[in-house]
Amino acid sequence: MSTQRVFVARLAGCSVFDPAGDRLGKVRDVVVVYRKSDPPRVVGLVCEIPGRRQVFLSIGRVTSIAAGQVITTGLINVRRFQQRGGEVRILAELVGRRVFFRDGSGEAQIEDVAIERNRLGDWDVGQLFLRKPKTSASPFAKGPTTFANWDEVRESSAPGEAQSAEQLVASYSELRPADLANTLLDLPTERLLQVVSELPDERLADALEEMPEDEQVHILDALDDERAADILDAMEPDDAADVLAHIPEDQREELLELMEPEEAEDVRALLQYRPDTAGGLMTPEPIVLSADATVAEALALIRRHELHPALAAAVFVTLPPYETPTGRLLGTVHFQRMLRYPPHERLGAIIDDTIDPVPVTASAAEVARMLASYDLVSLPVVDPAHRLVGAVSVDDVLDYLLPEDWRSQDDEEAGAPPVSTPGRR
């Protein structure tokens, strides 16, 4: 058998198939164990299966790794992956470490790791892709790269030395927010906090919005107050209000004072309402226009890439002012209806006034029934004076109505493949 070599950063995200070609999940990491003199031995892969559950796939059940895909025998144990003593995850723990060349030529940082299949069919760590320290003072310069075999370097053992998480963050750049959140929560606590410190504010905010509130609070507690406030600024106001509601009042007020005034104002408004009501679930930033605005103007606002898809499904027409809380709500104009009219058509002429708005005090169950009854993805929310104060979308309601632990439901409930073999290996 000829030697195969695969770099782990390229393997991450690859699909895992059974012999019949059915997709079982995707690769998230590679697990190795150290040996006294030989390079670390690969013992298996961490795979994500439906339901966002990460499981262990023994390397002995892998029949092929090629062309961006992994083929298995079809037998996967769906018990949640738990790292054992002596095991090391390449992407989560090894990438980013500092190593020293044994010939005394200096140091470098691990940016990628190749695993190789030897003639006996076993997989071991092969070459390391390394980046040496930069030689230029320019902030945009990077150090030169090189390859080295495992036995040509030794790992840094300086006490208390923190491993760089920059390369790990780069490997997560293509993950969707929900997948990033799941991947972050699976990291060891120390590594999680290192990666969080390297993530851009917007990226971390997107991931936090997909996490349970207790995990959000844990991560925000680990940040200094100014960074935590920046993250809250970058979150959707309703999500920021949800996490702040779980923080002690004195700390909550400190964070609100550090936030941008406009963002803090929106969050304070949401905190007035109970979390199980339309007022507590809504976003205070829907698209609001006057009756004289045209279809072309409305479509231009809907095209903004940062706008949530559910909020882009409709615009709301009110009397002035046009910032929430607005003037009296006149009605809704749906995206599909706008497409049937010329760009110069006034919104006031095509208003749908058959859908009643929901009051801020409406329960989550009431909102869900209205969304389902009228096949809508969002509804306007009004105060007692019939002023528009926000919009509640179907994803907001689902997040509230689903069980608190829905992100970690057992695979049978989440639609994962059936368990095939007992035990880890």
Give the pLDDT band (50/70/90) at residue 68.
confident
More confident residue, 52 or 393: 393
**90: which DSSP letter?**
I
Whether the per-residue pLDDT at 412 is higher than 70: the answer is no
> How much is the pTM?
0.60
pLDDT at 398: 81
- Of the chain, the percentage scoring pLDDT greater than 70 comes to 88
H-helix or E-strand containing 208? helix 201-208
- Of the chain, the percentage scoring pLDDT greater than 90 comes to 40
Whether the per-residue pLDDT at 409 is higher than 60: the answer is no
Distance of alpha carbon 5 from alpha carbon 148, whole angstroms: 14
182 within 8 A of 172, measured Cβ to Cβ: no
Give the pLDDT band (50/70/90) at residue 379.
very high
Distance of alpha carbon 233 from alpha carbon 20, whole angstroms: 48
Give the pLDDT band (50/70/90) at residue 67.
low
Average pLDDT in the chain: 84
H-helix or E-strand containing 332? strand 329-334
Whether the per-residue pLDDT at 50 is higher than 80: the answer is yes
SS3 of 227-292? HHHHHHHHCCHHHHHHHHCCCCHHHHHHHHHHCCHHHHHHHHHHHCCCCCEHHHHCECCCCEECCC
Whether the per-residue pLDDT at 255 is higher than 90: the answer is yes
Domains in the chain: boundaries:
4-88, 93-155, 174-272, 288-401
- For domain 93-155, the question of CATH label 2.40.10 is answered with yes
384 prior amide bond cis, ω within 30: no
Give the pLDDT band (50/70/90) at residue 18.
confident
Whether the per-residue pLDDT at 25 is higher than 80: the answer is yes
124 — phi, psi (to 5°)? -130, 165
Give the pLDDT band (50/70/90) at residue 158.
very low
Mean pLDDT of 308-325: 90
Q: Which of 390, 367, 375 is nearest to 288 (CA)?
A: 390
State the distance between the two ends of the chain, measured CA to CA, in whole angstroms. 24
pLDDT at 194: 83
pLDDT tens-digit series, residues 380-404 = 999 999 999 999 988 888 877 776 6
H-helix or E-strand containing 395? helix 394-401
Q: For the range 262-268, what are the long-range contacts, defined as Cβ-Cβ under 8 Å and sequence gap of 24 or more?
A: 263/232, 263/233, 263/237, 266/237, 267/232, 267/237, 267/240, 267/241
pLDDT tens-digit series, residues 205-254 = 999 998 988 899 999 999 999 899 999 998 989 889 989 999 999 999 99
| Fold exhibited by the domain 4-88 | SH3 type barrels. (2.30.30)
Whether the per-residue pLDDT at 41 is higher than 50: the answer is yes
pLDDT tens-digit series, residues 167-193 = 667 667 667 888 888 888 878 788 888
More confident residue, 4 or 291: 291
CATH class of 174-272: mainly alpha
pLDDT at 221: 92
pLDDT at 198: 82
Buried b (16+ CB within 10 A) or exposed e, 357-376: bbbbebebeebbebbeeeeb
Q: How many C-beta atoms lie closer than 10 Å to residue 55's C-beta?
A: 24
H-helix or E-strand containing 41? strand 41-49
Give the pLDDT band (50/70/90) at residue 411.
very low
H-helix or E-strand containing 185? helix 177-185
285: amino acid identity, one letter? E
Distance of alpha carbon 81 from alpha carbon 85, whole angstroms: 13
Whether the per-residue pLDDT at 346 is higher than 70: the answer is yes
Whether the per-residue pLDDT at 326 is higher than 80: the answer is yes
Distance of alpha carbon 239 from alpha carbon 272, whole angstroms: 14
Going by their DSSP bridges, the two strands 53-58 and 62-66 should be labelled as: unpaired
Q: Which residue has the tokens 């994962």?
A: 416
- For domain 288-401, the question of CATH label 3.10.580.10 is answered with yes
